[in-house]
Amino acid sequence: MGKFFDIKDLKPKPIEKGEETGISTKETNSKSLRIRFDEMHEQKIATIKMLCGRLPEENEVFFLESTNSFNAFTFIVYLIKHAGRIDDLFIATYSINTRILDSLSSRIHNNEIGEICLYIAESIRYRMPKVKDQLDMMIKSMDNFQVEYAWTHKKVIAARVGDAHYVIEGSGNFSENSAEEQYIFMRSKRIYEFRTGYTK
């Protein structure tokens, strides 16, 4: 297995007036966010098991590139195994398949996940009508599962496990046709709140 590498050459940008919060005055009305991370690592992985149970610490980020087929959902399974029950799970994706929805439903029933908010592309209604039907059934049968439709191409997972907040971003959808993908895997309450748009 390849080692994680510290990126020591990145020098923090000097804080200018009005940037104490990490967001400049000019950026206050936009959705941009600047944050410094204490540790940054990069690694190419053929499977997420190559992380060997390693989770990012607070304000630590992994830059990952997959060299084999695993999809974004794999990170959720990985978090449950190594961090524990996910209290709140936010998923933003362009597409998702029925097998992954079945697994999410099962994990809610098994108390491995508390609440799920799925933020998905509006076009799923027409592109994948079977998925839309399954989402409708899940909404009716589970109080702790909600869906928001939007004109989006986001691919974000934000998971709260107790006091720990994890965020995964990358090119992979919640489907089973992933190949070579890139991901950012971090632990940061601030980025979690930024990506989900709410605090808990």
Report domain extents, the chain: 41-46+60-196
Half-sphere exposure of 62 (CA within 13 A, CB side): 23
Phi and psi at 161, nearest 5°, equal: -120, 95
**CA gap 96, 154 in Å, rounded:** 12
Per residue in 135-190, pLDDT tens?
999 999 999 999 999 998 899 999 999 999 999 998 887 876 666 788 899 999 99
So what's the pLDDT on residue 35? 60
So what's the pLDDT on residue 39? 64
User: How large a percentage of the chain has pLDDT more than 70?
Assistant: 69
Say which residues have a Cβ less than 8 Å from residue 26's Cβ, sequence separation at least 6.
none
pTM: 0.78
Mark the ranges of the chain whose per-residue pLDDT is less than 70. 1-46, 49, 52, 67-70, 176-179, 198-200
- Could you say which of 3.30.870.10, 1.10.1740.10, 3.40.50.11900, 3.40.50.2020 is the CATH number of the domain covering 41-46+60-196? 3.30.870.10
